[in-house]
Chains A and B, each alone.
Chain A
């Protein structure tokens, strides 16, 4: 740990890593190379040695592991305490945290303890070749503006990064790296928030960020019943259904389905936008998709600017035809 190190915090829940932690190892590796430093995965959890091993397989040079019952589920007090202790000890140059709900709870607390800067919810990362500073790019003003933020004088430089922005690297089981175990436990009296119940609403929404194909509907779907055909198309394609903010605000789908600035960032292989006008706040959440299809009655809808395939037409006619064609092709 003599060289500058870049840390990726890998969030775990009941022994399993959240995908975004592994995703962040991809840009983490590139940034560490530019810095001439090492990439270290930091893992808090219970029985999570396998996560440390996985992190190395995904590209980390080393992993720091803190295990304990209090880390089985995220606890704001325990986790922020531990991460702060680790940072004080090892003095990393950069700390990247997945911008999950818990990551965005943890990040500011740690940054505040360390009196350092934190850039929230980034969608782009780079190193300034002149200064060696981390360049964190993030959308602001509802996605209308992209801002690149630096933290020139304080260390570590911290950023939370939107899940789904980067893709996991190749998993190489042959890679080796040091796993350092640290024993850190907060005084139990200082744990002020208790978790009484965890309810998982296990539906496809969890996989939205990992879905390869997303069929998404907006205001142009006109009524909630019409999402049935999107679901049918998604099922035929083996994908998931999502929605724009307009559709979620109208109460047609729960907010967990929302893609965009205030929803999820997705980067599937194929994104089919149905009746979505393409407000910037939506585009921010899906422009990283490999292929974008847009179907809209308004030829001037901004969504068409970023679409690879455009149909100016009525979703109610186009989608049923697509369902039929897909089913025929697949048989």
Chain B
């Protein structure tokens, strides 16, 4: 069993604050974390590996600092890690990113001599929230795609998945090789062990640059990105609402209901 998990280092968006004057994101001091959905993806992969044996490779793209994230992954189930990092890859949108990552995957597969049986990605990254890179990887590599998986089971060369749907869930199956994007699982990712943590500290994580991951310059970086950010702004609104005050909670509740009926909002 040969599994690849794609991971992204993201700022912890729950601790991002907005500069009240400049209306920009304050990113300094915001800790970098493993994208939580990628963590679930890795745990799903690790649980498969616990049963079937095999190897888990983690792959990320980003600055050198992203190796911290990969090292964390090595502590919780991953066996080896690679970082795609090159300035020419900077500014890539989802299409360019997926193209670069897919090229790197092919490179690793060539080295392994066989395709990864399964490629896992988080359903989306919590900074960009696009959820597009996983499906686009499946398209670049021309592989089966299952999105929004939160439980999975491997039988022989088939993965059976419980996939979240808008109305409930679907049970779907695909033969290897397949790409699976992962939702929040019903279980939490494992804690690292002291031994795996120590081993991860010592592991070497190769960097793959544009010299190895060869992508046409029209398909990478800003130039290779069809989408552009035109503008950004912080969403701040302030309504002139009506405050019900000076009365007990129960009186306020009754008063509110009265106001809502008077305004015709409740009938």
Contact = CB atoms under 8 A, between A and B. Distances in A.
Contact of A329 (B93, B235, B257): B257
Interface string A141-158: 111111111111110000
Contacts of A306: 237-239, 241
Interface in A302-323: 304-314, 316-322
Contacts of A18: 166
Interface stretch (A25-33, A175-183, A198-206): A198-206
Interface in A67-122: 73, 76-77, 80, 100-102, 104-105, 107-109, 111-113, 115-121
A127 interface: no
A150 B230 contact: yes
Given A108-B132, A195-B172, 8 more contacts: A101-B148, A112-B95, A199-B170, A292-B239, A311-B244, A325-B256, A329-B257, A329-B266
Nearest to B226: A117
A322 B148 CA distance: 39
Interface stretch (A37-45, A47-55, A217-225, A280-288): A280-288
A101 to B, nearest CB: 5
Contacts of B257: 321-322, 325-326, 329
A283 B235 contact: yes
5 contacts: A76-B144, A192-B175, A206-B166, A262-B126, A305-B236
A184 interface: no
A34 interface: no
Counting chain A residues whose Cβ lies within 8 A of the other chain, the interface size class is: 35 or more
Contacts of B143: 192
A143 to B, nearest CB: 7
B252 A193 contact: no
A148 B12 CA distance: 22
B21 interface: no
Interface in B229-246: 229-239, 241-245
A165 to B, nearest CB: 14
Interface in B50-96: 93-95
A194 B173 contact: yes
B110 interface: no
B231 A324 contact: no
Contacts of B214: none
Contact of B235 (A194, A284, A293, A311): A284
Main secondary structure of the interface of B (DSSP, over half): mixed
B250 interface: yes
B266 A117 contact: no
Contacts, number: 275
A117 B148 contact: no
B184 A76 contact: no
Given A142-B126, A194-B173, A270-B260, A322 B266 contact: no
Interface residues of B, number: 83
A115 B226 contact: yes
A321 B136 contact: no
A139 interface: yes
A151 B227 contact: yes
Contacts of A107: 132, 135
Nearest to B258: A325
Contacts of B146: 76, 193
A261 B125 CA distance: 12
B253 A321 contact: yes
A239 B13 CA distance: 31
A322 B250 CA distance: 8
A143 B165 contact: no
B167 A322 contact: no
B171 interface: yes
Nearest to A248: B184
B132 A141 contact: no
B187 to A, nearest CB: 13
Contacts of A304: 241
Nearest to B259: A309
A290 B124 CA distance: 30
Which 9 pairs, one residue from A and one from B, show the smallest C-beta to C-beta distance?
A317-B249, A321-B253, A142-B13, A117-B226, A192-B144, A117-B227, A325-B257, A201-B168, A120-B130
B261 A329 contact: yes
Interface string B132-173: 111110111001111110000000000010011111111111
B207 to A, nearest CB: 26
B227 A150 contact: yes
A112 B168 contact: no
B250 A269 contact: no
Given A100-B166, A148-B231, A321-B252, A113 B139 contact: yes
A300 B210 CA distance: 50
Contacts of A153: 226
Interface in A154-176: 154
A124 to B, nearest CB: 10
Nearest to A18: B166
Nearest to A152: B228
A16 B130 CA distance: 27
Contact of B229 (A147, A201, A270, A321): A147
A56 to B, nearest CB: 24
